[in-house]
Each structure stands twice: as structure tokens, then as C-alpha cells.
Amino acid sequence: MRATPNFLTPQAPPMKRRDFLTAGSLAAGGALLTSRLSFANTATNGKSRFVFIILRGALDGLAAVPPYGDRDYPALRRDLAMQANNVLTLNDTFGLHPSLAFLSESYGAHELVVFHAIASPYRERSHFDGQDVLESGLIRAHASQSGWLNRALESAPAGRISNKELGVALGQNVPLVMRGSAAVTSWSPSKLAALDEDTLERITDLYAGDPLLAARLAEALAADAIADSPLSADGGAAMLGASTTATAAGRSPNKTGGAARYTEVIHAAAEFLRREAGPKVAVFDTTGWDTHANEGAAQGQLASRLAALDAGLRMLKEQLGPVWNDTAVLLATEFGRTAAINGTRGTDHGTATAAFLLGGAVKGGRVLTDWPGLSSRSLYQGRDLMPTLDLRSVLKGVMQEHLQVPARALDSTVFPDSAAAKALTGLMRT
């Protein structure tokens, strides 16, 4: 006897095979986190894990990583400028925003590299084209239906992972960066009851003549199979512990509603990545970084979003357990924001920004930047932080050293027209 889900009549939600996810937190509130998480199984040595987190909306790199030691910085940010005593110090020039406590600890533990004055090749100021370039890996927007990460996976050496478990999808749909011919899928928690075997079989038959739906259904079933498979002796306990951990991570649930919204997606990411036979690469995106007005400084709108992100990353580390040592997490955004604050105590669309590479596999404790300075002469078009590091150099370095993607593939199919952006090596522990 199956329960009927409660979208038509009020009743308790049914038990389902995907109950290992803590339910409920996504239902409330807005779309800070769009909760799209997609995975791919990469054919590497079977150990390395990679997580790519897209910060949609253009993260203010000068607020996330304030150059508090730059002499032109206070005048640009005026009363929103942060000072040595309220940043989490990285070195004499840079600090982390005070909300980024976990990142600060990771920096101290040599597990975080901070990149600054970094940008994709995109030089206009449209979010949507900027995100397209960030994800496609091309130099122009809307020039490709596939993403660089998918093409990188396609080029990764064949490994020990059986084809049967290729590609599992988390989150309802696959973002552009993961789309392409390498097998990937999407997965997200379901509050609906699972189909019975007979109905599922009939639908499978119904889709036999429809290549798209047949493939998607098969991918979804593969994802469910991995999600349902027993993890290890301690798996059950770890799953039960998840919601507690999440609450602890989001210390003030009312103020950092975003933290609660990360819970499901981070938890799901960890569940998949922890599995030996599961996917090795995950992508998800977060939104809410478009801080045009009342951005705040040490406290405020951006501060609470950064705190939620930081808490989510801490939770990811905790839940990955020993697998964290094989993991690299890259956080990037489509572009930065204006160097000066605007008339509404926020920042408009800019160019260069900050990015982060985090994880147990990362050779961290470093700020990598060719700092251009913030004098009016050194600003890009007189208004934005000047880009001096190509994001593709970082992506290439990580793909090459962490996922063993051959350099010639990175220079050709993965990042076409990227000759000028040489792979930045030495980012990973070896």
C-alpha cells in the first residue's frame, strides 16, 4: 500500500527510498541556493574528488577578500571598508571577510588557496553571458552547448570505475558547465513517493523510442541506485547525524536562512562523493551575490550569505570525512563588482574578483595574485579591479593535476582559444 503524497490533500509525507536526505529546509524561503547539484563519474585514479561551486550573481571579491592593506581601498569603499581589526588576516595586504571563519581555518591548515584579481575571459557586464562564458569555457557567450567540466571528464584517462555507474545527477537539472557528451546526470531530494516497479517498467517501455527521455530516465535510476546503496558500516549513523551537524553549522538559523538551504545539497554531495563506486565530480550553484544595494560590510546582506556559504563548506568537510583528503573544491563567480561603492551602498557589475580552491588535496595557505592595485589609474576602465589572472589557468591546473586531464586536451577541446592562459601548476599536494 503506497501513500499518496500530500500535494493534493494534507497528510503526512510518505516514507521513501531517498529519505537519507533531511527534508524540509528547502521548502521555506527563497532561492538563495538553487539546489542544483550534478555529478559525474570521472575516470581518474578513482580517488580524487572535485566539487565546482558556481556563485551566481557576481561575488564582490573586494568584500569577500578585502585588500585592507591597499592604500586606495578605504577611499573606494568609504564607510563599508574593512580594517585590519575586523578581517581574518591572510597576509599584510589581504584578509578574509569575517564571515568566512571556516575558510580562515582552512587557510591556516594549508588547505585553501585564495586567488585575487582573477577573471574569466569575459569582459562585458551581463550576468547571463558572464555565467555562460564561465561555464562553457569558451571566450564568447552562447558559443557552445557543452561545458568545460564535461569536456574535461571526457578527456580524463580511463580508470577503474565500471561503466554501469557512470554519471549520476543531483539537483533537478544539469547546469551548462556539466552538460555534454560525457555521461552525467542530475539528482535532487524528492518529497514524492517513488514509483512501483511495474509502473516504472511500463514507463521505461514507453520511453524506448524516445532517446532523450530514455537516457534521462536511465540516468535518474542510476543516481537512485547509488543513493540507495549501503555506504559502509558507519554510513547509517553518519546519515542520521547529518541534520544535527547542519543545525550546528548554521548557528543562527533565523539570520542565516541560507545555511539551512545548503544543508540538503551539501549533504547529498557528500553522500555521493563518499562512495567508492560513486561519482567523483559534483557541481552545484548558489545565488544571491548580486549586491547592488545595502551590501553591508562586516555585517549585513553579503555577510550573512558568506556565512551561509562558509557553514556549508564546513559541513561538506565534516561529512566527507577521510575523503576530504582527496577533495578539491573550487568556488568561482562570473565577474566581480565595481571597486567603489555606488550611490545605494552597494556595488554594480565589475570585472576581476576573487576565487577559492579548498580541500584536503590542495596545497594551500597561499594568496595567489598579481595585485594590480586600486589607484584610479590601475582600475579596469576606470571603475573595476583589473584582471591579472585568467581563471582558466587555475581551472587547467586543477584539471591537470587533480583529475589527470591531459594538457593537450585542456588546451584544445576543454578550453579552446586558451593558449594565453597557461595552466597554473603546483596547486595540489602530490
Partner 1 sequence: MLERLTSAIAANRFGLGARPGDLDAIGSHSRDWLRAQLESAPPRLDDRQLRPSSEILVEALDLRREIQAQRRAEAAGDDTAAFTKLPQLLRPIYTEEATVRFRQAVLTDRPFVERITQFWTNHFAVSVDKNLLLGLAGSLEREAIRPNILGHFGDLLLAVEQHPAMLLYLDNHLSIGPNSKAAQNRARQHAERKSGINENLARETLELHTLGVGGGYTQTDVTSYAEVITGWSIGGDPGRHMRGEPGKFVFRPEFHEPGPKVVLGKRYPDTGYDQGVAVLRDLANHHSTARFIATKLARHFIADDPPEKAVERIAQAYTRSGGHLPAVYNALIDSPDAWTQPLAKYKTPSDYIVSSFRGLQVPLDTVHSPLASFELLGQRAYSPGSPAGWPDRSADWDGASALMKRVEWADAVGQKLGTRRDAAELAPQLLGETLTGTTRAAIAHAASGAQAVTLLLAAPEFMRR
Is 23 one of the binding residues for partner 1 (CB under 8 A)? no
Q: For residues 172-191, which are near partner 1 according to CB under 8 A?
A: 172-174, 176, 179, 185-188, 190-191
Q: Is the dihedral of CA 250, 253, 259, 264 positive or negative?
A: positive
CB of 280 to partner 1, least distance (A): 18
DSSP string, 166-186: ---BBSSS--GGG-SSS-EEE
Residue 149 or 367: the one with the smaller Cβ distance to partner 1 is 149
Is 170 one of the binding residues for partner 1 (CB under 8 A)? yes
Is 4 one of the binding residues for partner 1 (CB under 8 A)? yes
**One-letter amino acid identity for 343?**
G
Q: For residues 288-317, which are near partner 1 according to CB under 8 A?
A: 288, 290, 292-293
Is 83 one of the binding residues for partner 1 (CB under 8 A)? no
Strand runs (DSSP E) across 5-79, as ranges? 33-40, 49-55
Residue 33 or 315: the one with the smaller Cβ distance to partner 1 is 33
Residue 97 or 337: the one with the smaller Cβ distance to partner 1 is 337
Binding mask 221-260 for partner 1 (x = CB under 8 A): --xx-----------------------------xx-----
Q: How many residues are present in the chain?
A: 430
Q: Is the dihedral of CA 79, 84, 85, 90 positive or negative?
A: positive
Q: Which of 67, 95, 278, 346 binds partner 1 (CB under 8 A)?
A: 346
Q: DSSP secondary-structure letter at 413?
A: I
Span interacting with partner 1, options 45-53, 88-96, 285-293, 318-326, rule CB under 8 A: 285-293
Residue 111 or 285: the one with the smaller Cβ distance to partner 1 is 285
Q: DSSP secondary-structure letter at 338?
A: B
- In which element (H, E) is residue 91 found? none
Q: For residues 91-150, which are near partner 1 according to CB under 8 A?
A: 124-129, 141, 145
- CB contact at 8 A, 129 and 122: yes
C-alpha cell at 187: 539528482
Pairing assessment for the beta strands 327-333 and 353-358 based on DSSP bridges: antiparallel
- Reference 51, options 330, 278, 270; nearest CA is 330
Q: For residues 349-378, which are near partner 1 according to CB under 8 A?
A: 349
Span interacting with partner 1, options 43-51, 83-91, 217-225, 370-378, rule CB under 8 A: 217-225
